[in-house]
Structure 1
């Protein structure tokens, strides 16, 4: 009796597994997986720039004084443009030896320098900053990238568009097979991206708001979606 009961239990379990397998196969056969892409274009509105005060020569104390003075003028310019103090970073002093290698290696002086990094909101303020730095005769000015302030919200919009794009593609394929698309049963978000282009800087003498173009950046999202077929 005990052996008979065990065999009966095993038979029921086997039938149950077979049923699960059939249901899984049917579900897999009645679905479609597609990729979707969403894109939102936006104009950068936050800009970064690095300006370097630099002096070369033999008198380190005198060079340090001139560099510090130029950095002070940069910081005053930032204040005049109402750039927040936390968005301006002045580095510590750097002193580097300058070598001559031909016809023989010998020390010919030193370079003293400091960087000032600005993070500016708005293209107009950015252009006025560059114009002001040029008027201060700062010779080393380097754009350090641009950002979109509401990037998170735009990434969500791009993601929504990606899912909608996936459904549209699934509907086209299903219609060709005389089927219709049901609910999404699996969504894999494959990531979002927002490359930050570096805006080209106009020549110093042409530094005015109209001389700069921020351009646009594309925020994209990729998804893989599986839909039921009806």
Structure 2
């Protein structure tokens, strides 16, 4: 009977010792992993590249107010047809030109004395969106459109056909900038950087100042106003955040 108790007690002691050893081992491994994780450095990096835009989205509008709907619609249709003809003259592909459906809205005047509204006319409008692949023609397109009767124009949205490549170039510069920052900080701390653990990145671009007609130039009689539109360069930005391993210097 006593021998059974001794065997049972021994087994319990062995089991308890094994469990304690496992707990200590796991605790040590966790602590070691935490220490390893803490030996890192996180830095940011910035990069940018510039390029001239080579395309633009131009939004034009035509609107007319007339007592008779037919007159307002005829005026808008005439102007839109003239602008579409202009795009063909400028050799802009039809797939890069979109004209919306005509929009017609009756307009009323409210009579306070009779508490009634009275039809006074119609407002007719239509929009044209043009994707221009040759910015040398931007000034001519806008000036001629105004001459033809266009009375609304949004700010041209400038872009580059190489935008994705330029954004990647900016990101590559940002990564190099982040590494230089990490090396500088690690050196000051008496350490060196190892492999990157994680990287997060983002990119975008800044529109240049919108192409505007240079008033002083446009006023000169010898200069064609269509040649007086200028646009600046686009700036493509890249930013990264990188976490590096922080390693001891050799011999430490």
Match for residue 107 of structure 2 among 98, 101, 104: 98
Aligned counterparts of 1:89 and 1:133: Cα–Cα separation in 2: 15
Gaps of 5+ in 1: none
In the alignment, structure 1 residue 174 sits paired with structure 2 residue 186 = yes
Aligned counterparts of 2:139 and 2:22: Cα–Cα separation in 1: 75
Match for residue 85 of structure 1 among 94, 99, 111: 94
Give the number of aligned pairs: 228
Aligned counterparts of 2:21 and 2:229: Cα–Cα separation in 1: 76
SS of 1:194's partner is strand
In the alignment, structure 1 residue 48 sits paired with structure 2 residue 57 = yes
For residues 186-219 of structure 1, give each alpha carbon's deviation from its aligned partner in whole angstroms, at most 9, with x where no partner exists: 2122x2222335624327886323x222212322
SS of 1:83's partner is coil
Greater Rg over alpha carbons, structure:
2
Match for residue 221 of structure 1 among 235, 238, 241: 238
Match for residue 62 of structure 1 among 59, 67, 71: 71
The verdict on how the C-alpha distance between 1:179 and 1:129 changes in structure 2, with shifts beyond 3 A counting, is same
Aligned counterparts of 1:198 and 1:144: Cα–Cα separation in 2: 10
Find the counterpart in structure 2 of residue 130 from structure 1. 142
Gaps of 5+ in 2: 1-9, 248-252
Find the counterpart in structure 1 of residue 250 from structure 2. none
The verdict on how the C-alpha distance between 1:9 and 1:152 changes in structure 2, with shifts beyond 3 A counting, is farther
Tell me whether 76-85 or 122-131 shows the greater mean CA deviation.
Answer: 122-131
Find the counterpart in structure 2 of residue 107 from structure 1. 119
Aligned counterparts of 1:35 and 1:174: Cα–Cα separation in 2: 14
TM-score with structure 2 setting the length: 0.79
TM-score with structure 1 setting the length: 0.86
Cα RMSD (Å) of the superposition? 2.5
